[in-house]
């Protein structure tokens, strides 16, 4: 597992390494999580991708799904419940080929 707060680093790491999933915040410096998702998908990267956000609403969720995000999870006050939602989203999806 790798963690970064820099979306440019995340993009480069995703290209260089094979990840089981990417979890990105919607609001990040320099680019948002949807821009990161779009760049990865344009490169043919189909790694499961989850947008995690405390902001945004239906418009952000629709755009995320149109960009082929595998999940859209709103931040909550219960970290354990939030972590469970992330794990469930990752492991309840079909295995990609």
46 in a domain, yes or no?
yes
97 in a domain, yes or no?
no
Q: Tell me the pLDDT tens digit for each residue of 20-34.
A: 889 999 988 888 999
- Full residue range of the structural domain in which residue 35 is found: 7-90
Identify the residue with better confidence: 60 or 94.
60
- Domain CATH for 70: 3.40.50.2300
60 in a domain, yes or no?
yes
pTM of the model: 0.81
Q: Tell me the pLDDT tens digit for each residue of 63-75.
A: 998 999 988 888 8
27 in a domain, yes or no?
yes
- CA dist 39 to 9, 65, 85, 91, Å? 13, 15, 25, 23
| Cβ atoms within 10 Å of 11's Cβ, excluding its own | 19
Overall number of domains in the chain: 1
| Helix (H), strand (E) counts: the chain | 4, 3
- Contact yes or no for 7/36 (Cβ under 8 A): yes
66 in a domain, yes or no?
yes
26 in a domain, yes or no?
yes
- What whole-number distance in Å separates Cα of residue 42 and Cα of residue 30? 19
């Amino acid at each position: 597992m790798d963690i970064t707060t820099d979306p440019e680093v995340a993009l480069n790491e995703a290209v260089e390494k094979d990840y089981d999933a990417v979890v990105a915040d919607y609001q990040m410096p320099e680019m948002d999580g949807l821009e990161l998702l779009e760049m990865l998908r344009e490169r043919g990267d189909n790694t499961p991708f989850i947008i995690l956000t405390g902001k945004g609403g239906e418009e952000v969720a629709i755009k995320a799904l149109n960009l082929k995000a595998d999940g859209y999870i709103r931040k909550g006050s219960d970290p354990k419940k939030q972590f469970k939602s992330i794990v469930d989203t990752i492991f309840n999806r079909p295995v990609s080929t």
